[in-house]
Amino acid sequence: MMNITKAVMHLIIANVLFFILAVFVPVIQDKAALYYFENPEFHWWQLFSHLFMHGSIPHLFFNMFALYSFGAPLEHYFGSNRFILFYFACGIGAGLLHMGVNYYEFHAGLDLLQSKGFEIEEARALLKKGMYDTRWKEVLSQGDFNDMMSAYMTRAVGASGAIYGILVAFGMLFPNAELMLMFLPIPIKAKFFIPILIALDLFSGVTGVSIFGSNIAHFAHVGGALIGFVLMKLWQKRSFGNRQLY
């Protein structure tokens, strides 16, 4: 097993410390978690700070284990500075795509309400107070209502978006490395394993059917993976010279 690298070690320490601190001072997570940008609780720094917040010990453990397992080889390859840039670019990109999907779902709900005769500004005023009109449930399907409210109200936490970017980079650099899911102990090459993992997230994000559990920001995972892929392609052309990525 590869020794831990400097940047990866510092990121893990920071995540653990912030998790402990947020347990004892919950307002930290309230201010650092990523809210939808039209929610009055949103602040610009949350695109960065939400990467250091986690909802539970297992959530923290699995993200940090993945950061150690896949991040250390990347840091050896990139160097610490480029790795840190890559990590935060993927994490912030994940947050932006997550909010973009929330924008679509929130405004789809508002448009439906408007088509049923509700005043949009009145609806917004209620939502800013953390409230809603019970009549909305009578004119919206359960799915449309849940999507609209979740998009506006639910906050996102975790480093998973950055981790997915790291997974993509790892798969491009080490395509024949054999990986295993804990619940499926069969070795699969990274060039197959990682696209399948991302495809499952995309499927879950579109359909709402998740094999990994509930309360998962699937499009954040997809966003991190997308930014990771784009950065790798750009760096392949501009910086890596003849180094083979596939």
| pLDDT tens, residue by residue, 25-74 | 999 999 999 999 999 999 999 999 999 999 999 999 999 999 999 999 99
In what helix (H) or strand (E) does residue 232 lie, and over which residues does it extend? helix 218-238
- Provide the pLDDT confidence category of residue 182 given band limits of 50, 70 and 90: low
Backbone CA torsion sign across 120, 125, 128, 134: negative
* Residue 137, C-beta contacts closer than 8 angstroms, at least 6 positions apart: 145
Residue 153, phi then psi, degrees to nearest 5: -95, -35
Residue 204's pLDDT is what? 80
Q: Is 76 exposed, middle or buried (0-12, 13-18, 19+ CB in 10 A)?
A: middle
Instruction: Give the whole-angstrom CA distance, residue 171 versus residue 211.
Output: 22
Instruction: Give the whole-angstrom CA distance, residue 45 versus residue 31.
Output: 9
Instruction: Give the whole-angstrom CA distance, residue 101 versus residue 96.
Output: 9
Instruction: Give the whole-angstrom CA distance, residue 218 versus residue 144.
Output: 18
- Comparing 3 with 34, the larger pLDDT belongs to 34
Answer for the pair 202, 211: CB distance below 8 angstroms, yes or no: no
Angle formed at CA 146 by CA 145 and CA 151, multiple of 5 degrees:
105
pLDDT at 135 over 70: yes
E-only strand ranges, 167-245 = 178-181, 184-189
| Residue 14 structure tokens | 């920071």
- Provide the pLDDT confidence category of residue 192 given band limits of 50, 70 and 90: confident
pLDDT at 237 over 70: yes
Beta-bridged to residue 178, according to DSSP, are: 189
For residue 71, which amino acid is it?
G
